Amino acid sequence: MRLPVSLLAGTTLTLALFLLLALLVVPPQAEPEPRQELTMALAEVPAEPATEPEPAFAAPPPPPSAPTPPPEPAPAPRVDSAIALPEPELPPMEMPEVPLDEALPELTETPPEPEPDPRPEREPEPAPAPSPEPAPRPAAPPAATAEPVAREPVDVGTSAQATRRVPPEYPARARRRGLQGHVVVQFIIAPDGGVERGSIEVVEADPRGVFDRAARRAIADWRFVTAEGRRLARQRLEFRLR
């Protein structure tokens, strides 16, 4: 009997607590307020000017202007360093009075001199000098005392017989370069068999200008057979490497 009564009492208590909680959570509904009429005045809004659309890419800013040069400094004030000296006061100089000579000589007119004659006077021609008499010719010396006239050398070519031959000296420059050649010289043989040094002349050379000096020095020391007159001879000198 006690169990059903305790169950009923517990259920009743539970329901009471649930109602109290529901009242606390749900607020009471307020009564509806009376409606108020609202009046609105419509005013015309001025139209805004159309704005241009901004470009997709902004324009680059303008380049900076050149810097303004600094102002030139003002010139330094000119300082006048001249020292002003007082001018010395000189006493006035007394000039002696000179009496003027009022007596002047009388003027006389001088006649002008006559102009000279531009034509010069002709000088007298000198007398012709006497022609000199021709000097007498000296008498010709006797034939016995006349000096012998040098005869032209006889051309003997290469037939002159040499009694002494001096071999030419091989030039060191040509030896280093391995050059070979020949020289033909022409010269005059004196009656005693010697060679006249001033008459040596290069007639042919191969190569030219390489062995000329050595050939002249060698021929100047050659000796030939003596003869009565001068002889014009030629010789060929060979330059070969051994």
pLDDT, tens digit (0-9, with 9 covering 90-100), for 10-62: 899 999 888 888 888 765 565 556 566 666 666 565 555 555 555 555 556 66
Say if residue 162 is exposed, middle or buried (CB neighbours under 10 Å; 0-12, 13-18, 19+).
Answer: middle
Say if residue 230 is exposed, middle or buried (CB neighbours under 10 Å; 0-12, 13-18, 19+).
Answer: middle
Tell me the residue type at 185. Answer: V
Q: Report domain 154-239's class.
A: alpha beta
Q: What is the pLDDT of residue 199?
A: 92
Residue 232 reports pLDDT greater than 90: yes
Better-scored residue on pLDDT, 61 or 211: 211
Residue 68 reports pLDDT greater than 70: yes
User: What mean pLDDT do residues 110-137 have?
Assistant: 61
Contact 180, 205 (CB under 8 A): no
pLDDT band, very low/low/confident/very high, at 173 (cuts 50, 70, 90): very high
Taking the CA atoms of 84, 85, 91 and 92 in sequence, report the sign of the dihedral they define. Answer: negative
Q: What distance in Å separates the CA atoms of residue 39 and residue 102, rounded to the nearest whole number?
A: 138
Considering the chain, what percentage of its residues have pLDDT values greater than 90? 33
At 212 the three-state DSSP class reads helix
